[in-house]
Structure 1
Amino acid sequence: MSEKYLIGVDGSEQSRVALAWGLARATERGADVELLHVADDSFLSESVAFLSEAQKASEQMLNAEIEYARSLGFTGKITGNAVVGHPIAELEEASRSADLLVLGAHSGSRLAGSFFGTRAVKAAATAHCPVAVIPNNDANPNAAVVVGVDGSEASKKAIAFAAEEASFRGLALVAVYAWMPPLTPGLEYLWSEELVDSQRSAAEEAIAIGVAGLATRYPDLEIRREIVQAPPVAALVQAAEGAELVVVGSRGRGGLSRLLLGSVSHGVLQALPCPVIVTRA
């Protein structure tokens, strides 16, 4: 059974960059594509007339984006869905039947304040499938795939996803483990060189466990290990500057974590140095 990619569209430049990225990936992997346009009803009148007009406008936008997708040369199966509602809620529901949700976002240190701007962060926190957020900047084709490693279950899922991606594309996998000495005001003098070495050894062990088994499963996969003494977000963003893709794990969807993506995933999405995929825990 073919994978299905759900791609959010709104006709903007950022959205079309993500659309092109999603279509190229779907072509490579033989995936089906569904485009989704959501007319935000947050500020609409609840009258039948207003909602009816919003639905028509949403359908017109969707049809235009399907035509644009075909103009890019995509020949695979493509369907569309135009709805009126709350964008995050509609994306969450639609993601139940998708293998990957693809959204666009502005490049730079901040995501845009529109549907596919900061809401992309919320979508990544609530979706039922991995979420790809695509910046509007020059890509680095045939570069490495970077993944964050921290020993958590979320990290293990991210590593598995990133390894499969790197192997499929014939790219190197860069596994990044970032660590910082505990910062206890007034007690910095307790940190001896021996304790720092101990922390470094623990980091090496964690990254070794994180990538264990990958060489057997993907014998041709080049795996680079980077242990960096730096804040995790800064380390991943720096490693991702020359990468084709960075993969980070989310904490899951239960309770408060459903709304809080996680400081590392959130921070990487805010910087968005290259396409970022957030996997599900």
Structure 2
Amino acid sequence: MAVGARVVVGVSGSPASLAALRVAVEEARGAGRVLVAVIAWEPPEGEGLYARRPDRAWAGHWESEARGRLDRAFDDVFAGAPLGVVVERWVVRGSAGRAVCDLAESAEDLVVLGRGRGWGRARRYVQGRAGCRVMVVPGPVVPRGVRRALRKVRAEDFSPLCS
């Protein structure tokens, strides 16, 4: 292993990206590498429209939202910071695929991405352009009927006082 080789993981908050985060931490811990967790964001209206009417407060809001999703991902998977691994958290403005490729700068790095309902375009971009190994982790499989039922769940369904 080359000195400075890292494990770069793309995080979006989706179940597949949480599975990738879990695997990436194990890979980093086992190899003694630094874990680089990256979440990318773009203005919801797109960069073209944002350029016409830039609003730093609006951009700051979306950057803060992305940072919160990255922090929640670590909280959901590890209840905070994972033990036994050095973690760098990056919030990058731009496309997800490009952000991951830019951070995986060494041929000795390892990129870990989740395969699920998100990251499809980013995953294809990274697999086609990364100058290092890419590991794709499948997300949890939720049967279609269960997904449909979960969309109809309300907060009151979990409250013991409403029974």
Native 8 Å contact 1:141 1:244 kept in 2: no
SS at match of 1:227: strand
Q: Which runs of 5+ in 1 are unaligned?
A: 1-138
Distance, in Å, in 2 between the alignment partners of 1:180 and 1:248 is 19
2:16 is aligned, of 134, 154, 161, to: 154
| 1:205-227 per-position Cα deviation (integer Å, ceiling 9, x unaligned) | 01111122548684221110011
Structure 2 residue corresponding to 1:271, chosen from 120, 123, 129: 129
Deviation at 1:183, TM superposition (A): 1.6
RMSD over aligned Cα atoms: 2.5
* 2:63 is aligned with 1:200: yes
Partner secondary structure for residue 64 of structure 2:
helix
Match of 1:249 among 110, 114, 118: 114
The TM-score, its normalising length taken from structure 2, stands at: 0.73
Partner of 1:42: none
| Preserved CA contact (<8 Å) 1:215 1:221 | no
Distance change (3 Å), C-alpha of 1:187 and 1:218: closer
Measure the CA separation in 1 of the matches of 2:81 and 2:46. Answer: 39
1:175 aligns with 2:33: no
* Partner Cα separation in structure 2 for residue 270 and residue 140 of structure 1: 23
Quick one: higher RCO (CA 8 Å, sep 6+), 1 or 2? 2
The amino acid of 1:248's aligned partner reads: L
Q: How far is the alpha carbon of 1:272 from its aligned partner? A: 2.8
> Are residues 267 and 168 of structure 1, via their aligned partners in 2, closer, same or farther at CA, if it must alter by over 3 Å?
same
Aligned sequence identity (%): 29
In the alignment, the residues of structure 2 paired with residue 191 and residue 174 of structure 1 have an alpha-carbon distance, to the nearest angstrom, of 30
Greater gyration radius: 1
Query: 1 CA distance for matches of 2:46 and 2:57?
Result: 17
Secondary structure of 1:225's aligned partner: strand
Q: Quote the Cα distance in structure 2 between the aligned partners of 1:153 and 1:262.
A: 14
Cα offsets for 1:115-145 (capped at 9, x unmatched): xxxxxxxxxxxxxxxxxxxxxxxx8465110
Q: Which runs of 5+ in 2 are unaligned?
A: 140-163
Structure 1 residues 173-231: Cα deviation after superposition (integer angstroms, max 9, x where no partner): 10011111132765654541111110111011011111225486842211100111111
